[in-house]
């Protein structure tokens, strides 16, 4: 007898959601009345299946033995092929899917081959077994797409039975083309090895009772491991050690330092896809207390590490414990290749945004039904259904750490590969805001492309906005149409999770400004062809509005001279891209990039492109660099004030000489303020004042609006005032 699966039905006290009868689900054994009178009178007394034997008049009661569920992760071999099989059809929260990954074994090596998903199976139950069948979708070419999985449902006290998977040409075939017998490996669908390190003196999160404050789910104590266990993922803690404290341990961490620390400390780290992830619990990022966490991808394979910062989320109150749990799981969710709820359309292929999702991946302050209060009151502390499907059943490289690049294959669902075409089209804008994107009209081949962003209000009564215009905060996206017509999104190296913050744009403060280097990101170099490019940006406002800029066109010129060709080679290197994005690094992993920029400054010191190498070297020299060793010792390179001043002076002089045609005003302002701060740190107050005066004198000669000039002057004074020696 075949019984159709109905996930809405569940027998009380039994881990199953099968709509089958009580007697069919259990092994029912009749027990005679005389046994009940000998100390077992209550056994089965309340059973709904009691019956009276009409011939003997003996009262009989069933003794029930529950049977095992079949969901879980199985593994088996057939010749040189190994199959990891995931069955997800019963138990708690089944998604009614079957998926699997094929590996090919050759000698002592195992190589991933491809994956499949059975999204809409027919599930039937016999008295002692379950059968799942249907046409699967494969990530590789295969002729026999119809699969049939049979799993005996042993009694609970018996060992779990193996699952048998057979491949057929179609649903009428009787002769399988291949058969795999797979033993149960785990009731979890994935297993991830998790290494967590924390800076000495910084308390890591342990657990939060979700019933402490109002929420939308059942009250339970959640840790990082149990939160992912509810998603079907086993988190195996590898037992990391605290970082040894040093004199400079309290200083802020840069993105470059974080990635270098991960590469040196993640046990078993290699530049390949593997189920391993590293999280650092630190005190402060160099962006300040507003940064809660970051998922960083500074070199090699992506989505392997993240960090959280207690300066923004630390504490023992219920609200602080709640935001700690949320931040840890949110950042690790990115490592599983999950986008923010309101940015699912930036996956490739794309799926619709889910701004109202009650998910770990949404921002509470972006929730459309009541903001943070509405979100927390309804949040069940879970991923949403589509995210669960991705975590449990996505093709391996779409979800495994170090697999596909971030957002590539990041969603299970229909879509197309031109996920960002929509941002190239005009949209109606009634938000009261205008986003402006600006870039130079032309760039040399290999020259860093930096864009300016301006958000202004045309409602001068006042408009509340968040101030995070840089793409690394993930609240502004930039689409790039290449000369060959392809449209890609700029993906910065790090995904920064910022605290909620709002500013008011009005007549006295009508606009916000930012600049961003967009030449290199998670996908490598974006301006790697000669020709014309079209750029467009979108700002995700706090009220849900998506403010789209007008398109901007720029040209990348092909090299003509031997020097231009040589400079392009010196700038087109992954290490150089990382250094430009991070504004320098002392990590040994980026040594070839530093060597290339040293050669630029030596061989082409008078060329306009040398200003970028000087900027990177100068900013990096002005900050200390923490290198976390494998034994958890901290080695710190101190600031080189002399190198900082020498390189950034070159930046100022080259920019004045070129009339600002190579370095934008926002970047120049950042560089000069950095140099002035370093001068003040070493007690050279007069030098710091002169640096600021020179910078302001240069800006006054530019076509800068008075209100903007006033803001630059006020910010410069404030920055110097806050600098400590």
What is the domain partition of the chain in residue ranges?
27-65, 72-185, 190-399, 425-558
* Residue in the block written with tokens 């209060």: 373
Mean of per-residue pLDDT scores for the chain: 84
Best-predicted range by mean pLDDT (325-334, 363-372, 496-505, 628-637): 325-334
CA 257 to chain centre: 19
d(CA 389, CA 190): 12
**How many Å apart are CA 489 and CA 69, to the nearest integer?**
44
In the predicted structure, residue 441 carries a pLDDT above the cut 80: yes
* Residue 628 vs residue 621, higher pLDDT: 621
Encoded tokens for 90? 């019963």
| 19-26 contact pairs (CB < 8 A, 24+) | 20/125, 22/48, 22/49, 23/49, 23/62, 24/125, 24/127, 25/66, 25/67, 26/62, 26/64, 26/65, 26/66, 26/67
CA distances from 317 to 211, 326, 669 (A): 14, 14, 40
What does the pLDDT look like over 557-581, one tens digit per residue? 999 999 999 999 999 999 999 999 9
Q: Which residues contact 320 (CB under 8 A, 6 or more apart)?
A: 313, 314
**What b/e readout covers 691-718, taking b as 16+ CB neighbours within 10 angstroms?**
bbeebeebbeeeeeeeebeebbeeebee
Percent of the chain with pLDDT over 90: 53
The size of the chain, in residues, is 725
- Of 121-125, 391-395, 608-612, 654-658, least confident by mean pLDDT is 654-658
The pLDDT, as a whole number, for residue 122 is 96
CB neighbourhood size of 525 (10 A)? 17
Residue 118, pLDDT > 80, answer yes
Mean of the pLDDT values across residues 618-635? 78
pLDDT classification of 432: cutoffs 50, 70, 90: confident
3-state secondary structure of 262: helix
Sorted by sequence, the CB contacts under 8 Å of residue 182 that are 6+ apart come out as 74, 75, 76, 83, 85, 162, 163, 164, 165
* pLDDT for the residue numbered 23: 38
Tokens representing 435? Answer: 């986003």
457: number of CA atoms within 13 Å, CB side? 20
CATH number of 190-399: 3.40.390
Mean pLDDT over residues 85-99, rounded? 95
CA distances from 407 to 301, 334, 475 (A): 13, 9, 15
Render pLDDT for 339-366 as a digit per residue (tens, 0 to 9).
999 889 888 888 888 999 999 999 999 8
Apex 574 CA angle, 572 and 579, nearest 5: 95
pLDDT in tens, 640-659: 899 999 999 999 998 888 76
- Asked if residue 600 has pLDDT above 60, the reply is yes
Beta strands at 221-222 and 291-296: parallel, antiparallel or unpaired: unpaired
CA distances from 24 to 2, 29, 31, 292 (A): 11, 12, 17, 52
- Please tell me the predicted confidence (pLDDT) of residue 126: 86
3-state SS, one letter per residue, for 76-113: EEECCEEEEEEEECCCCCCCCEEEEEEEEEECCEEEEE
Contact status, residue 627 vs residue 634, Cβ threshold 8 Å: yes
Using the structure block, give the residue that is written with the tokens 């006295």.
508
54 to each of 34, 51, 57, 58, 59, how far by Cα in Å? Answer: 17, 9, 6, 8, 10
Cα-based torsion angle of the residue sequence 677, 682, 684, 689 in order, rounded to the nearest 10 degrees: 10
What is the C-alpha R_g of the chain?
30
pLDDT confidence of residue 723: 60
Do residues 84 and 73 touch, judged by C-beta distance below 8 A?
yes
Q: For 632, phi and psi rounded to 5 degrees? A: 70, 15
Distance CA 393, CA 405 (A): 18
Q: How far apart are CA 273 and CA 139, in angstroms?
A: 17
425 class by beta-carbon count within 10 Å (0-12 exposed, 13-18 middle, 19+ buried): exposed
Cis peptide leading into residue 707 (ω within 30°)? no
Query: Phi/psi zone of residue 13: left (φ > 0), alpha (ψ -120 to 50 degrees), beta?
Result: left
Instruction: Please give the average per-residue pLDDT across 438-452, as a whole number.
Output: 94
> Tell me, what's the pLDDT at 60?
55
Question: Which residues on adjacent β-strands are paired with residue 273?
Answer: none
pLDDT higher than threshold 90 for residue 111: no
pLDDT of 152 above 90: yes
- Pairing state between β 190-198 and 276-282: parallel
User: Exposure string (b/e) for 223-237, b if CB count within 10 Å is 16 or more?
Assistant: bbeebbebbbbbbee
If you search the block for the tokens 């001279």, which residue do you land on? 561
- Residues 609-634, mean pLDDT to the nearest whole number: 84
DSSP reduced 3-state for 152: strand
Contact 497, 292 (CB under 8 A): yes
CA distance 438 to 664: 10
Band of residue 663 on the pLDDT scale cut at 50, 70, 90: confident
| pLDDT band per the 50, 70, 90 thresholds, residue 716 | confident
Task: Mean pLDDT check: name the lowest of 33-42, 170-179, 505-514, 545-554.
Answer: 33-42
- The average pLDDT across 187-210 equals 92
Q: 214 pLDDT exceeds 80?
A: yes
Helices (H) and strands (E) in the chain, counts: 17, 36
Q: Tens of pLDDT along 457-516?
A: 987 788 999 999 999 998 999 999 999 888 888 989 887 888 889 999 988 888 999 999
Q: What confidence tens digit (pLDDT) does each residue in 10-49 have?
A: 323 333 333 333 333 334 433 333 333 333 333 333 333 3
For residue 611, pLDDT over 70 is answered with: yes
The residue to which tokens 């940006």 are assigned: 537
pLDDT band at 305 (very low <50, low <70, confident <90, very high): confident
Question: In this model, does residue 211 exceed pLDDT 50?
Answer: yes
**Can you give the pTM of this predicted structure?**
0.75
pLDDT at residue 529, rounded to an integer: 93
Residue 415 has pLDDT above 60, yes or no: no
CATH architecture, domain defined by 425-558: Sandwich (2.60)
- Residue 405's pLDDT band (cuts 50, 70, 90): confident
On the question of pLDDT at 414 being above 60, the answer is no
* CB-based burial label for 268 (10 Å; 0-12, 13-18, 19+): exposed
CA distances from 696 to 152, 185, 454, 719 (A): 78, 67, 20, 14
Whole-number pLDDT of residue 635: 73
Q: Which residues have C-beta within 8 Å of that of residue 337, sequence separation ≥ 6?
A: 303, 390, 394, 398, 399, 403, 404, 406, 407, 408, 409, 410
Q: Which of 177-186, 269-278, 310-319, 716-725 bottoms out in mean pLDDT, i.e. has the lowest? A: 716-725
Q: Is the pLDDT of residue 249 over 60?
A: no
DSSP 599-649: HHHHHSTTSTTHHHHHHHHHHHHTS-EEEE-TTS-EEEEPP-HHHHHHHHH
What is the full DSSP assignment across 529-583? SSEEEEEEEEEE-TTS-EEEPPPEEEEEEPP-SHHHHHHHHHH-SHHHHHHHHHT
Q: How confident is the model at residue 618 (pLDDT cuts 50, 70, 90)?
A: very high
Quote the distance between the C-alpha of residue 385 and its chain's center: 17
Listed ranges 240-244, 297-301, 317-321, 349-353; the one with the highest mean pLDDT: 317-321
């Amino acid at each position: 007898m075949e019984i159709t699966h109905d996930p809405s039905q569940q027998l009380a006290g039994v881990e199953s959601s099968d709509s089958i009868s009580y007697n069919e689900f259990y092994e029912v054994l009749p027990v005679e009345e005389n046994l009940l009178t000998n100390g077992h009178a209550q056994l089965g007394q309340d059973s709904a299946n009691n019956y009276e034997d009409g011939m003997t008049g003996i009262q009989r009661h069933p003794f029930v033995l529950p049977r095992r569920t079949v969901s879980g992760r199985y593994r088996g071999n057939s010749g040189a092929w190994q199959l990891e099989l995931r069955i997800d059809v019963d138990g708690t929260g089944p998604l009614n899917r079957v998926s699997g990954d094929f590996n090919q074994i050759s000698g002592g090596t195992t190589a991933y081959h491809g994956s499949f998903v059975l999204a809409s199976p027919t599930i039937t139950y016999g008295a002692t077994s379950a059968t799942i069948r249907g046409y699967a979708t494969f990530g590789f070419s295969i002729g026999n797409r119809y699969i049939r999985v049979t799993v005996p449902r042993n009694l609970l006290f018996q060992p779990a039975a193996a699952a048998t998977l057979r491949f057929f040409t179609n649903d009428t075939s009787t002769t399988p083309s291949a058969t795999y017998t797979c033993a149960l490996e785990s009731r979890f669908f994935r297993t991830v090895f998790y290494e967590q390190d924390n800076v000495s003196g910084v308390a890591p999160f342990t657990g939060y009772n979700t019933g402490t404050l109002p929420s939308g789910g059942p009250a339970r104590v959640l840790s990082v491991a149990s939160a992912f266990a509810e998603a079907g993922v086993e988190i195996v803690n590898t037992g990391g050690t605290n970082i040894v404290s040093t004199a400079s341990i309290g200083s802020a961490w840069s993105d470059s330092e974080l990635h270098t620390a991960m590469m040196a400390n993640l046990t078993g780290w290699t530049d390949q896809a593997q189920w391993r992830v590293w999280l650092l619990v630190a005190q402060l990022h160099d962006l300040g207390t507003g940064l809660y966490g970051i998922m960083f991808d500074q070199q090699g394979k992506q989505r392997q590490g993240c960090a959280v910062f207690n300066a923004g989320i630390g504490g023992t109150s219920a609200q602080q414990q709640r935001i700690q749990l949320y931040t840890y799981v949110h950042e690790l969710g990115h490592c599983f290749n999950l986008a923010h709820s309101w940015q699912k359309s930036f996956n490739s292929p794309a799926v619709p945004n889910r701004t109202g999702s009650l998910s770990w991946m949404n921002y509470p302050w972006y929730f459309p039904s009541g903001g943070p209060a509405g979100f927390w009151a309804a949040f069940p502390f879970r991923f949403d259904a589509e995210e669960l499907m991705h975590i449990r059943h996505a093709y391996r490289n779409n979800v495994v750490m170090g697999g596909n690049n971030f957002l590539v294959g990041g969603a299970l669902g229909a879509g197309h590969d031109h996920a960002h075409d929509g941002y190239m089209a005009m949209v109606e804008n009634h938000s009261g805001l205008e986003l402006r994107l600006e870039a130079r009209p032309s760039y040399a081949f290999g020259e860093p492309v930096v864009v300016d962003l301006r958000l202004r209000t045309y409602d001068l009564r006042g408009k509340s906005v968040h101030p995070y215009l840089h793409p690394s905060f993930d609240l502004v996206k930039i689409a790039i149409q290449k000369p060959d017509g392809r449209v890609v999104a700029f993906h910065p190296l790090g995904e920064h999770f910022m605290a909620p913050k709002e500013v008011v744009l009005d007549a006295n403060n009508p606009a916000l400004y930012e600049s961003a280097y967009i030449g290199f990101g998670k996908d490598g170099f974006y301006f790697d062809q000669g020709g014309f490019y079209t750029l467009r940006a979108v700002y995700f406002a706090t009220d849900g509005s998506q403010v789209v800029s007008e398109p901007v066109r720029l040209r990348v010129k092909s090299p003509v001279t031997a020097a231009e060709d040589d400079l392009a080679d010196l700038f087109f290197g992954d290490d150089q891209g990382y250094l430009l994005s991070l504004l320098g690094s002392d990590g040994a992993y980026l040594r070839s990039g530093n060597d290339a920029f040293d050669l630029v400054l030596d061989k082409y010191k008078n060329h306009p492109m040398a200003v970028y190498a000087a900027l990177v070297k100068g900013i990096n020299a002005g900050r200390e660099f923490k290198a976390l060793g494998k034994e958890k010792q901290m080695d710190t390179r101190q600031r080189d004030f002399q190198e900082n001043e020498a390189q950034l002076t070159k930046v100022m002089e080259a920019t004045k000489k070129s009339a600002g045609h190579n370095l934008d005003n926002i970047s120049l302002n950042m560089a000069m303020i950095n140099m002035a701060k370093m001068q003040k740190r070493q007690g050279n107050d007069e030098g710091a004042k002169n640096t600021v005066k020179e910078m302001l004198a240069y800006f006054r000669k530019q076509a800068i609006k008075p209100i903007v000039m006033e803001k630059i002057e006020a910010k410069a004074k404030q920055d110097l005032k806050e600098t400590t020696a």
